[in-house]
Structure 1
Amino acid sequence: MSRSVLSTHEGSAFRRSAWGISMQRSTQQHHDTLPLAVPAYLQEALRKGRKAEGWRLKNVADQVPPGHRFLLYFRAFERADGNEWEPLTTSKRDALEDIVKTGKQANAILNALKMRHARLFDETCWKRRVTLAAPLFTGSGNPHPVENGFAFLSPYGVPYLAGSGLKGVFRRAAEELALLCDDTHGWTLPLVWALFGFDANSAYLGAASDSEWVRGYDAFVHEVENSPDRVLEQLMKIWMNPRLQKVLEKEFGPENGPLDQPAFLRALRQYQQIRRAVHFQGLLTFFDAVPHPDCQMAVDITNPHHKSYYQGTGQESPHDAEQPVPIFFLVLPPGTTFDLKALPLAQKDALWPLVKDRWQALLDASLGHIAAWLGLGAKTSVGYGVFTLAQQPAQDKLSGRSEEAPPSQREVLKEVEIQKLEEERRRKQEAEEMEQAQRLAAWNALPEDEKILRPLQEKVEAYVRSSEVLRKNIRPDLNRAMNAALKQASQIKDSNLRQRVAAEMEKMYERVGWADPGEKKEKRQKQEKKRREALEALKK
């Protein structure tokens, strides 16, 4: 991105407009020049769209990914009276409607991300496909002029579910299955810690003693008293760093020796210093999930009727005469499809053999719990983020393999090659369109006499370079061009321009001859007289 120095007026317009350029209609010359600080592809898109009506810019959606239109170039201001600008009020929905089309550029990015992920996965990895059955709202807390953000993958500008967020919801589902559900589907608390890492702020470690989380935790401690857990045994060995040993000695004294499993679990619950001394990332990582290409976005609305009451001002009770306050925000609509993917990190020698044969089945159980009770993204308590699972053969579930075999290297390379060819074709087409637009713009900028003389000059040059045999064939076409040029020039109101055209055409006739070669002398004399008279009339 190149630097540029903007004038004071242009700089203020650049700052006021969330699109990053001044979109106001102006007769001033410098407003027709886009600032160099705007990327080249956006300059071209906005230049094409400047002739569009109002704020609806043509081709912008295809050239600029939705995340960039929502964050970098969002239309957050509108024209007020006079020359003032003010934040959007009644037209927030219209501004968001400009975002909902994904466009060609974003689809190309989604395809590239899909292929990149495909090359990283094999049969040892976990992959499941889900399809939204309700709108998905994610990134709601991100700052934005419409007060409701949305999560877009930086720097690509496409919607996504963050891998960290997916890991968090899978962890929550695993914890609920392990501590709160009668049917755990194989989940235990040490398995949660082994696969997702240890979290010192977990609800069952810091909640009140009468919490259902604590009751589930205490029930697990009781189970360990009767039957020690092998996974927890290995975790305690991995966690036992010098800092943790020092904290344990301070709390329990060195003479008591190492704690057994039940005592260690109770210590985790009782002492915050012990929890803070435990550091473990977990064996799994989750990839960011992007929707399948050709997805679209949508604008949703929530319409709170009792704003003052919900905000707790205490000034009045809710009643039917209040004015609702519509709030618009972006969502991914039902039908959008994601591929959720997870794979093991560097494997701990002593721990991985205890989970390697069951971790995929455990993730399947967590995914089923998320689909039934939790959902994805924000506002899940009111029905957002509900999804359905793709059907899988029973043997695939048992083996932990995904419903769809990962592509072979040859298939991936073929797809990459196809994508390269398509990208090359698209770039070539865009370059041709840009070149054609530049030629058209240059042609429209020419004065009237140049528009007449330039194509005529080309025909004269072609005639002069031709052999005598070919000249007979192309002379009629040249005569028609000369006659058309005379007719066009006669309509020019500026006498100086008309005289210039006549003088240039006179030079051209001197080069190609006033009369057609091969004709009889009498006819040649008539042709020359007629053409000279036409040029003389043009000079008046």
Structure 2
Amino acid sequence: MRRDALSQIKSSATTHAGLWLDRFLPKAGADDQTKAKASLVEEVAGLKVPELYNRVYERWKASLDQDDIMCREATVQGRMIVGLGNTSPIETSICLQHTYGVPYIPGSAIKGLVAAYARQQLGDEWAKGSETQAEKPLNAYQTMFGHPESAGYLTFFDALHIPNSSQPLAIDVMTPHHMSYQQGNLQAPTDFDSPNPVAFLSATGSYLFAIGGEKAWVTAAFAILEKALLEYGVGAKTSSGYGRLKLAPLPPDPLEQFKNDLERLPQHQYNNQIGRFIDRCKALQDSKLQVKAATFILEKVRNHPRAKDLLTKPRFTELITFIEQNS
């Protein structure tokens, strides 16, 4: 009765992909189940991202704009499937946000991937060690990921799909060729066995990764994550090439770039060029960055042979006042 009632409902622009996948499998006889499942997969893959999700994503991204959180975008190189073995009426599943039905990568999966790569590729300092007794002092692995006696230094956030980076879901197919043999029957597989295509959903597009904690450890975690995403992959079927993502390069640090350019400024060009650096200092978006940049300028000037004369000029007295007022 309920299945008959659901068959009258049609998908729309606001349809939730996860709800549709879990509840709207078409009614079919035993011989048509494969076609019914393939039809459902095709329908879910064609659903659009809810418009509300764009606003939710921007609000979530703004909440990560903190000094102790680093964010980086990563793009799927092909296809990705996280949560393939989760409970599903079509026997294959995928990790979708409960509220909006958009694919994402759980923070637990990201942490597990980084931890696995660290254990297997980075040497003795990254050994997991005893699960009941912490190292004294803690080694790098237990410091980053935690231990029953000590919380880890880092927070691994869920990686959300970046709106408009692609249609997030796609149709995929796996084709077992020897079903009888793979189900444990004694009959040996042969070239006469019939292939059995099975449709399932995979994810595409770009995702925003975020890790929070002490800057040096966050930087180290992203360095490990970058290699792990390319070499190991995240989610299911990684041995078949699924789940590879490429992190976008980090944007240049404006303060570091400012400091490097200032260091290259010859002393004989101070009078002509220092005003340009003061303008760059004022153009920085954050007052904390402005104070640090102004401090770099004053340190540079104080090492000049004519420092006493230069520091009495209005442009430098203004910098000194600005630092005192904002420090």
- Global fold match (TM > 0.5): yes
Shift of 1:157: 2.1
> What letter matches 1:322 in structure 2?
D
TM-score, scaled relative to structure 2: 0.67
> CA, structure 1 residues 87+287, in 2 after alignment: closer, same or farther (shift >3 Å)?
farther
> CA, structure 1 residues 98+199, in 2 after alignment: closer, same or farther (shift >3 Å)?
farther
- Structure 1 CA distance for aligned equivalents of residues 208 and 96 of structure 2: 17
> CA, structure 1 residues 111+374, in 2 after alignment: closer, same or farther (shift >3 Å)?
farther
> What letter matches 1:77 in structure 2?
K
> CA, structure 1 residues 231+163, in 2 after alignment: closer, same or farther (shift >3 Å)?
same
Q: 1:287 aligns with which of 118, 132, 157?
A: 157
- Corresponding residue of 1:23: 7
> CA, structure 1 residues 391+117, in 2 after alignment: closer, same or farther (shift >3 Å)?
closer
Q: 2:172 aligns with which of 295, 300, 303?
A: 300
- Structure 2 CA distance for aligned equivalents of residues 110 and 288 of structure 1: 16
> CA, structure 1 residues 90+103, in 2 after alignment: closer, same or farther (shift >3 Å)?
closer
> What letter matches 1:378 in structure 2?
A
CA contact (8 A) 2:233 2:243 kept: yes
Q: What 5-or-longer segments of structure 2 have no aligned partner?
A: 258-284, 287-327
- Structure 1 CA distance for aligned equivalents of residues 6 and 226 of structure 2: 50
Deviations 1:242-264 (A, max 9, x none): xxxxxxxxxxxxxxxxxxxxxxx
TM-score, scaled relative to structure 1: 0.42
- Corresponding residue of 1:388: 246
> Does 2:203 match 1:365?
no
Deviations 1:283-327 (A, max 9, x none): 2111111211133211100101112233332x2221111011111
- Structure 1 CA distance for aligned equivalents of residues 34 and 253 of structure 2: 56
Q: 2:68 aligns with which of 124, 138, 141?
A: 124
Give the 5 Å matches for 1:18-417.
21-23=5-7, 46=9, 57=10, 60-71=11-22, 73-78=23-28, 88-103=33-48, 106-179=50-123, 188-189=125-126, 200=131, 231-232=138-139, 278-294=148-164, 295-296=166-167, 297-313=169-185, 315-333=186-204, 336-344=205-213, 356-393=214-251
- Structure 2 CA distance for aligned equivalents of residues 317 and 367 of structure 1: 42
* Secondary structure of residue in 2 paired with 1:99: helix
> CA, structure 1 residues 327+168, in 2 after alignment: closer, same or farther (shift >3 Å)?
same
The structure whose Rg is larger is: 1
- Compare relative contact order (CA 8 Å, sep 6+) and give the higher one, 1 or 2: 2
> CA, structure 1 residues 114+163, in 2 after alignment: closer, same or farther (shift >3 Å)?
farther
Shift of 1:365: 1.9
* Secondary structure of residue in 2 paired with 1:88: helix
- Structure 1 CA distance for aligned equivalents of residues 39 and 156 of structure 2: 36
> What letter matches 1:388 in structure 2?
K
- Structure 1 CA distance for aligned equivalents of residues 130 and 18 of structure 2: 32
> CA, structure 1 residues 149+323, in 2 after alignment: closer, same or farther (shift >3 Å)?
same
Deviations 1:371-390 (A, max 9, x none): 33211111111100112221
- Structure 1 CA distance for aligned equivalents of residues 31 and 149 of structure 2: 50
CA contact (8 A) 2:154 2:218 kept: no
> CA, structure 1 residues 357+162, in 2 after alignment: closer, same or farther (shift >3 Å)?
closer
- Structure 2 CA distance for aligned equivalents of residues 74 and 199 of structure 1: 47
> What letter matches 2:37 in structure 1?
K
CA RMSD of aligned residues (A): 3.4
- Structure 2 CA distance for aligned equivalents of residues 150 and 133 of structure 1: 18
> CA, structure 1 residues 291+61, in 2 after alignment: closer, same or farther (shift >3 Å)?
farther
CA contact (8 A) 2:7 2:24 kept: no
Shift of 1:117: 3.2
Shift of 1:189: 2.6
Deviations 1:175-204 (A, max 9, x none): 223338xxxxxxx338xx7xxxx8839xxx
- Structure 2 CA distance for aligned equivalents of residues 323 and 300 of structure 1: 19
Structure with a larger share of its residues in helix: 1
Q: What 5-or-longer segments of structure 1 have no aligned partner?
A: 1-12, 25-45, 47-56, 181-187, 206-223, 240-274, 345-355, 400-406, 409-540
Deviations 1:488-514 (A, max 9, x none): xxxxxxxxxxxxxxxxxxxxxxxxxxx
- Structure 1 CA distance for aligned equivalents of residues 51 and 235 of structure 2: 22
Give the 5 Å matches for 1:412-451.
none
CA contact (8 A) 1:111 1:293 kept: no
* Secondary structure of residue in 1 paired with 2:163: coil
- Structure 1 CA distance for aligned equivalents of residues 45 and 212 of structure 2: 32
- Structure 2 CA distance for aligned equivalents of residues 124 and 329 of structure 1: 38
